């Protein structure tokens, strides 16, 4: 986005300065350069939103092209969920790319209205975000400290259902897994923007985007100038078919909303939002923004009340449902890694509700099974790999059933490309080594359960384990964007 700034004071030292807040949101800075999706929401004919922005490398000005692929479209509320969940995942002392939590906890954490319809909204929003693929030809990578051409996926969602293709269960833990590349960029210093999620929720969708954009810019200067045409179309997502005069009118409403919340203020001698606009030439307007009193409040420590309270931990409710007492939960949190706890919560939850093939049953109780697995650092049981493979197959079939003929053809191409790449990996030295390592470990189990084909079954289980833990292949949306030429 074209941007001109003048330094009218000493730049602030801390990008994350905040007044006292209750809930925190975290946004990825490079994604804030443009709108993620048209402001009106819904689906697009080509399922891809294309936009651009300009950036500088030294004294040279360059243009970045952004493609966002979302087959189910996006709604304004989806950005609130994306930044809120990112804040919940990164706002802990030891952030992990997997968030295991009940939908009730997610709604409560994000301060969303609670009701039956809200669970359905949450599910739809997660499924829309799970299918998004993002491509940027000038993405600033905070890990490598340079501009790169990036194609990536944000997150994957795993929501338990009742039976084959049934309703999503709301009283069990949902699993959200962040894309490793995206999560790494968000963890890097200078890669994210921390903001007040409660204030963000009070604003309208266009004002939310403007608030985050200005919060980032005010870190460098207390007065910011933005091109109106570029800001409204590429930055806020207004329709390019809407005349500049009407987009300017819509922008005035956003400005007034930010003025009402003291996020910005009028300059000396100015009396209305219209005074912030400067006409440079015919059809070319620049709008100036002055940092408001909101940012000059005394900085406070990041909210820790919820993060430190055991009752507010996302794993607390799933552990209680399994039957683990509060004292034991506290001991698990203090003595074991969250990754190991999450792994065994997922295994135990599947054993309780889905009765996977090969699971012999609980010898004592689900709680004892979970605690034994965590405390003794046991390897996940063999049956969980086959069960997860079956789940992935069912999920894939549901996605294909919901696709139109054109999308189904593309997904068939994707399946073929993925399987071809997997077989090539298995034939590589690394793949042969992993097969030789894992296959014998599965044979005793299948000698007892499938003696007539135990070697074949053990190899299939080893292949599933390799595919899940060691094989890397892009998600469908990312694969599709990489095939398409940049606009």
Record the tokens describing residue 69, joined without a space: 């692929």
Nearest to 128 by CA among 477, 487, 484: 477
Give the helix/strand (H/E) hosting 225: strand 223-227
Burial tier of 122 (Cβ tally within 10 Å: 0-12, 13-18, 19+): buried
| Distances, alpha carbon 103 to alpha carbons 119, 318, 458, in Å | 7, 11, 36
Say what the pLDDT of residue 8 is. Answer: 36
- Angle, helix 405-427 to helix 476-483, in steps of 10 degrees: 100
Q: Where are the domains of the chain?
A: 3-199+226-243, 315-378, 383-483
> One digit per residue, pLDDT tens: the chain, 487 residues?
433 333 333 333 444 455 556 778 999 999 999 999 999 999 998 899 999 999 888 888 899 999 999 999 999 999 999 999 999 898 777 788 999 999 989 998 888 877 667 888 999 999 999 999 999 999 999 988 899 999 999 999 988 887 655 678 888 889 999 999 999 999 888 889 989 998 999 999 999 999 999 999 988 889 999 999 999 999 999 999 999 999 999 999 999 999 999 999 999 889 999 999 999 888 889 999 999 999 887 655 444 444 445 777 888 888 888 888 888 888 888 888 888 888 899 889 888 887 788 888 888 888 889 998 988 888 888 888 888 777 777 666 666 665 555 567 777 888 888 899 999 999 999 999 999 998 998 888 888 888 898 888 888 888 988 888 888 888 887 888 877 654 4
Determine the Cα–Cα distance for residues 299 and 18; give it in Å rounded to an integer: 5
Nearest alpha-carbon partner for 237 in 213, 283, 206, 203: 206
How far is 275 from 402, CA to CA, in rounded Å? 51
Strand pairing report for 192-196 and 24-28: antiparallel
Q: What is the DSSP string of 390-445?
A: HHHHHHHHHHHHTS-HHHHHHHHHHHHHHHHHHHHHHHSHHHHHHHHHHHHHHHHH
* 8 Å CB contact between 359 and 351: yes
């Amino acid at each position: 986005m074209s941007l001109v700034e003048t330094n009218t004071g000493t730049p602030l030292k801390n990008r994350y300065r905040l007044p006292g807040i209750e809930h925190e949101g975290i946004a990825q800075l490079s994604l804030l350069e443009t709108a993620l999706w048209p402001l009106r929401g819904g689906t697009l004919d080509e399922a891809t939103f294309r936009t651009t922005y300009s950036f500088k490398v030294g004294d040279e000005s360059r243009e970045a092209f952004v493609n966002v692929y979302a087959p189910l479209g996006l709604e304004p509320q989806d950005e609130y969920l994306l930044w809120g969940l990112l804040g919940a995942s990164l706002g802990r002392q030891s952030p992990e790319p997997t968030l295991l939590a009940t939908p009730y906890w997610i709604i409560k954490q994000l301060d969303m209205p609670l009701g039956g319809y809200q669970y359905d909204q949450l599910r739809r929003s997660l499924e829309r975000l799970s299918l998004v693929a993002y491509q940027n030809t000038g993405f600033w990578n905070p890990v490598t400290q340079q501009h790169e051409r990036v194609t990536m996926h944000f997150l994957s969602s795993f929501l338990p259902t009742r039976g084959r293709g049934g309703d999503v269960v709301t009283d069990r833990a949902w699993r959200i897994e962040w894309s490793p590349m995206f999560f790494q960029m968000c963890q890097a210093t200078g890669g994210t923007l921390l903001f007040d999620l409660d204030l963000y929720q009070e604003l309208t969708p266009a004002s939310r985007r403007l608030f985050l954009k200005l919060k980032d810019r005010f870190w460098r200067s207390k007065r910011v100038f933005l091109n109106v045409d570029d800001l409204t179309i590429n930055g806020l997502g207004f329709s390019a078919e809407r005349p500049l005069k009407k987009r300017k009118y819509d922008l005035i409403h956003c400005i007034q909303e930010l003025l009402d919340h003291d996020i910005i203020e009028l300059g000396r001698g100015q009396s209305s939002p219209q005074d912030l606009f400067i006409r440079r030439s015919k059809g070319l307007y620049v709008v100036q923004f002055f940092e408001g009193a909101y940012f000059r409040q005394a900085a406070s420590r990041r909210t820790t009340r919820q993060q430190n309270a055991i009752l507010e931990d996302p794993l607390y409710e799933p552990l209680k449902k399994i039957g683990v007492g509060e004292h034991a939960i506290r001991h698990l949190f203090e003595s074991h890694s969250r990754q190991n706890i999450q792994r065994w919560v997922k295994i135990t939850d599947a054993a309780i509700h889905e009765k996977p093939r090969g699971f012999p049953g609980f010898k004592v109780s689900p709680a004892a099974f979970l605690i034994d697995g965590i405390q003794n650092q046991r390897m996940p049981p063999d049956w969980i790999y086959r069960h997860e493979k079956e789940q992935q197959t069912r999920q894939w079939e549901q996605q294909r059933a919901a696709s139109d003929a054109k999308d189904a053809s593309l997904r068939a191409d994707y399946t073929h490309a993925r399987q071809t790449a997997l077989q090539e990996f298995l034939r590589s030295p690394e793949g042969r080594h992993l097969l030789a390592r894992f296959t014998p470990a599965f044979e005793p189990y299948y000698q007892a359960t499938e003696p007539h084909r135990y070697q074949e079954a053990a190899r299939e289980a080893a292949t599933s384990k390799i595919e899940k833990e060691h094989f890397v292949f892009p998600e469908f949306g990312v694969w599709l964007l990489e095939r398409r030429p940049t606009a």
